[in-house]
Amino acid sequence: MGVRRSWKAVALGVAAVAAVAGGGWWWWNTPRYDVPMPSAAAEPGGVVRAYMRALDAHDVATARALSTSSHRAVTGSWLADTSGMKALTVSAPITEGSEVQVPVTFDLHQHWWTEDPSMPPGHHDWSYILVRQHGRWLIQDEGMG
């Protein structure tokens, strides 16, 4: 009888851990709010606003859809490391050949367990580089300057 009870206790513990892990996975992967995908005719500034809202909302589908395939790993890092991001200003686009640079200022909030000393919480000046692919503007690169 004692072995049967300890087996049930272990099974109950495993089920509880699985439930918590599943709930955490669901919470982590469920957007806080939906960000509409901008139309294919959207200007670069509108694409950047939607991308930043998608990062803030943890709307993985929209954020990835607004990134080139080579930029999706960076997008994934933003989604994993930030708890929120608010675009404060989105400046006029600067055309550089086939690319467009969109300067922004944003307010960054990070998870306490992923704070990056090179990008502390608070206000940041940043730029997104967009290219025209698949009939729309997509984020190809980003950084300071």
Give the CATH number, domain containing residue 66.
Answer: 3.10.450.50
Task: Judge whether 8 lies within some domain.
Answer: no
Residue 131 has pLDDT above 70, yes or no: yes
Task: Judge whether 12 lies within some domain.
Answer: no
Give residue 55's domain range.
31-143
Task: Judge whether 69 lies within some domain.
Answer: yes
Task: Judge whether 57 lies within some domain.
Answer: yes
- Mean pLDDT lowest among 6-20, 57-71, 105-119, 131-145: 6-20
Residue 3 host element (H or E): helix 2-29
SS3 50: helix
Number of domains in the chain: 1
Which pLDDT belongs to residue 27?
A: 47
Task: Judge whether 59 lies within some domain.
Answer: yes
The stretch 32-41 carries a mean pLDDT of 93
Task: Judge whether 79 lies within some domain.
Answer: yes
- Please name the residues in contact with 73: beta carbons below 8 A apart, sequence gap of 6 or more: none
Task: Judge whether 25 lies within some domain.
Answer: no
pTM of the model: 0.78
